[in-house]
Amino acid sequence: MSENHKADAQPGVASLVEGILGDAQKLVRQEIAFAQREVAQEWDKAKMGGALLASALAVCSVVGVLLGFMLVKLLQQYLLPDHEWACFGIVGGLVAIPGGALIYCGLNQINHVHLSLPQTTETLREDAQAVGDAVSGGRSSQHALLKR
């Protein structure tokens, strides 16, 4: 009789496997939610980089057209009356500098977008290690997996 009581005190293999499977399901749901949040954050970074590039295009277009013609006419009138092409070249070069700086900033912002989801990858590695430890240790995975 004492043997039956002692056997009932220890959880069976089926209950251990059931606990591990339940914890694994909960863990997968948590990881999916975490990945969704991480993707949303990276998408926001990409939108910011796109907005900077669109701003660069707008600034270069408007400033280049309006002030460019004005500067070309000033250069032609006072410095190079017979070389209109040189005036356009000088003004074009001057407008290209801030446009290039805006493009550089926009591309730099886009390069900060991580498509590999580094945080999710790291937590998946930790979770896989915890599941492996729980299964190989023969104990319930509840304490090992849900320590977050």
The pLDDT profile of the chain, 148 residues, written as one tens digit per residue, is 455 555 555 678 888 888 888 888 888 888 888 888 888 888 888 999 999 999 998 987 887 688 788 888 998 999 888 888 888 888 888 888 988 999 999 999 988 877 777 777 787 788 778 777 777 765 554 454 455 4
Could you tell me if residue 4 is inside a domain? no
**Integer Cα distance of 132 and 71 in angstroms:** 71
Residue 71 neighbours by CB under 8 Å, 6+ apart: 87, 90, 91, 94
pLDDT at 23: 86
**Residue 90 falls inside a structural domain:** yes
pTM value > 0.85: no
In a domain, 1, yes or no: no
Q: Is residue 116 part of a domain?
A: yes
91: in domain: yes
The verdict on residue 7 lying in a domain is no
User: Per the domain annotation, does 5 fall within a domain?
Assistant: no
Q: Considering its fold, how many domains does the chain have in total?
A: 1
Helix axis angle, 13-78 to 118-137, nearest 10°: 170
Residue 59 domain boundaries: 13-145
In a domain, 112, yes or no: yes
pLDDT of 54: 93
CA neighbor of 59 nearest in space, from 111, 108, 90, 103 = 103
